[in-house]
Structure 1
């Protein structure tokens, strides 16, 4: 009866008389039955189909990162392939260590055999780099980790060199990264990989705490040590028995930034009684030595945005016995015979102008100098120690498409020793960098 009523209603809607002849009514009933059958078949087919496959990878929380579905850790893989090309109009520089980037403390001195080896041209790719960043939420906030390495080592073998390896949770950073004494934001850009003379460029293992004071800036404290547990820099005659202590205050805004830095580091010598073989083949007793002096350093730097496309950068550092914290430091000198350590007084500064010339072209002009000052160190130092080193650069970097940069630069460097000798090194630097993971 209900079916008859339904058919009658549909027939009325279609302007078909409710009491049509039986053949018409039967035909309509058949059409309705066919429709119901088709609907049932569609429902059955949908039920039989498998659910859409779950995405294996989704977008992560870090820029350019990803994370596996169902997990909270975001991972970003980044780096670049880079080729450096150099033409050195001066003599051979730092050939013993294979450091092909500019290194002013080893500029060939006029009249030396290395000075006669002018006009070398070479290319290398060992500044190429790869790194991994990760971020995961925890009850104490985001845990950020980073591991980065390149192939830039002094052996020329292309082995990995660890740059960064640290974890950061809240205000704490533990691991190896840029020294707290270094101010990256006041360092002008150069095509040369080693950067301007007179700067601090150093990565060390450290435990660092940062206190953000809002409008008053950030206050940072860290204890740091030499990387690899051994010699870093030219202070190889001395050792550090306790960690370095580094403090920094920094404040940044739309106008630029300013940073004030300070450090204290130990320069110590210590050895046991021992015997040594003389030139005649006999043995001689050598008493143990013990001596220590604490070095210190201070620095001030910053950058100022003159216009949205022009920035001025400057930094200066001064200290006594800073050692590896100064790129071109002559290092402490140990006098084992008298149980004394002599520390050099040094200062350095870097100036730079960076200009955005267009959306794809930028340029920079830099000058830097580092100088050894007077003091008791001068009286015991070898005459070949550097009195001063300096360099200037003029360069441009062109980014024709995303992730590609081509740079060219002219660099002029000069070195002078305590005994009055000197050397000058003009060179052209080129670099092609192809980045990924940005």
Structure 2
């Protein structure tokens, strides 16, 4: 048995076919926000509109996470937790409860458990200090699922949830099919989402969504990331900015996100990003932009600052923020 340290985890070799890897990171954030949208540690595409602008400063470590990977031949098991599970208070302890993020088993080409929806292209997420980033324009949800991968193709049946309707009567899983083309210049994925949604009166409504996303290398180490989604994507895109069902109808939304990351040198980089979502029934028009700077002080320790704005245009509300972050990879 031997132990080795990498930039992202510590691995214990049990024998030639078995290993256990421990990873994660510790992240401390300080955030100052000024505006008239109520929020806490990060913005998830929605929030109460305050009668007037307010300012607030907070520090928190909830994004910190730990994970474990077990490998035995063709079997991989992975579990990860962070600390956005609620609990505690800021009067005495600042304690936070663990929250399950991922828990899945993978055998050869089949994955079973909770992880990122197959509808996502995780390489197309912007690098941000804000935990959520421009989620209003990103596909971002973790689902329990059964996924089959065959080369560039992935197919999955995933846990249904009629957000805004009567989820207690959901009787069919969501279906996702995705094709990803990868090359030296990066990757582009096209994904389709097929759903049976349940309205508040128990009626069934069909939902179909489309996603195009990717990450393209430009000059040097720089890259451009993009996402575009349309149709009945509901809770799969924008977090809670758009519902699946509004009354007796399936909501339609259009969303996009663009981000450019530039490396100033071998250790420092910046990203500028923008995300937006609009809907047809609730007339949502919400956006989030930001620009940041990160520097690796050591191979595992980084620090950064980000300034940005999130807006709910349909309610004439917005907030500006400045966030400082320090992150140590375990």
TM-score strictly above 0.5 = yes
Shift in alpha-carbon separation, 1:353–1:266, aligned structure 2, 3 A: same
Q: Which of 231, 235, 247 is the aligned partner of 1:324?
A: 235
Partner-residue secondary structure (3-state), 1:104: coil
Q: Which of 296, 301, 304 is the aligned partner of 1:407?
A: 304
Residue segments in structure 2 that go unaligned for 5+ positions in a row: 89-94
Summarize the alignment of residues 252-291 of structure 1 with structure 2, pairs less than 5 Å apart: 252-269=182-199, 289-291=201-203
Answer yes or no: is the 8 Å Cα contact 2:165–2:199 preserved in 1. Answer: no
Tell me, in whole angstroms, the C-alpha distance in 2 between the residues paired with 1:136 and 1:63. Answer: 17
Q: Any idea what the Cα deviations from partners look like across 1:377-407, whole Å, max 9, x if unmatched?
A: x3xxxxxx55210011110111111211112
Partner-residue secondary structure (3-state), 2:235: helix
Summarize the alignment of residues 137-176 of structure 1 with structure 2, pairs less than 5 Å apart: 137=73, 142-153=74-85, 158-176=96-114
Equivalence for 2:251: 344
> If you compute each CA radius of gyration, which structure gives the higher value, 1 or 2?
1
Equivalence for 1:304: 216
Answer yes or no: is the 8 Å Cα contact 2:86–2:97 preserved in 1. Answer: no
Normalised to the residue count of structure 1, the TM-score between the two structures is 0.68
Q: Any idea what the Cα deviations from partners look like across 1:314-335, whole Å, max 9, x if unmatched?
A: 1100012x32112244314464
Equivalence for 1:431: 325
Tell me, in whole angstroms, the C-alpha distance in 1 between the residues paired with 2:175 and 2:37. Answer: 38
Partner-residue secondary structure (3-state), 2:297: coil
Shift in alpha-carbon separation, 1:300–1:121, aligned structure 2, 3 A: same
Once superposed, what is the RMSD of the aligned Cα atoms? 2.3
Q: Any idea what the Cα deviations from partners look like across 1:328-359, whole Å, max 9, x if unmatched?
A: 44314464xxxxx2111101000110111111
Shift in alpha-carbon separation, 1:426–1:352, aligned structure 2, 3 A: same
Residue segments in structure 1 that go unaligned for 5+ positions in a row: 1-55, 213-217, 271-288, 336-340, 379-384
Answer yes or no: is the 8 Å Cα contact 1:175–1:207 preserved in 2. Answer: yes
Tell me, in whole angstroms, the C-alpha distance in 2 between the residues paired with 1:348 and 1:371. Answer: 6
Equivalence for 1:120: 56
Report deviation, 1:60: 10
Tell me, in whole angstroms, the C-alpha distance in 2 between the residues paired with 1:333 and 1:58. Answer: 51
Tell me, in whole angstroms, the C-alpha distance in 1 between the residues paired with 2:190 and 2:249. Answer: 27
Summarize the alignment of residues 106-255 of structure 1 with structure 2, pairs less than 5 Å apart: 106=47, 108=49, 112-113=50-51, 115-116=52-53, 118-137=54-73, 142-153=74-85, 158-196=96-134, 197-212=136-151, 218-226=152-160, 234-235=163-164, 237-239=166-168, 240-255=170-185
Equivalence for 1:362: 269
Report deviation, 1:246: 0.3
Tell me, in whole angstroms, the C-alpha distance in 2 between the residues paired with 1:399 and 1:59. Answer: 22
Tell me, in whole angstroms, the C-alpha distance in 2 between the residues paired with 1:60 and 1:136. Answer: 20
Q: Which of 103, 116, 119 is the aligned partner of 2:44?
A: 103
Q: How many residues align?
A: 320
Answer yes or no: is the 8 Å Cα contact 2:44–2:241 preserved in 1. Answer: no
Normalised to the residue count of structure 2, the TM-score between the two structures is 0.90
Task: Say which structure, 1 or 2, has more relative contact order (CA 8 Å, 6+ apart).
Answer: 2
Report deviation, 1:428: 0.6
Shift in alpha-carbon separation, 1:317–1:305, aligned structure 2, 3 A: same
Report deviation, 1:237: 4.1
Q: Which structure shows the higher helix fraction? A: 1
Answer yes or no: is the 8 Å Cα contact 2:290–2:307 preserved in 1. Answer: yes
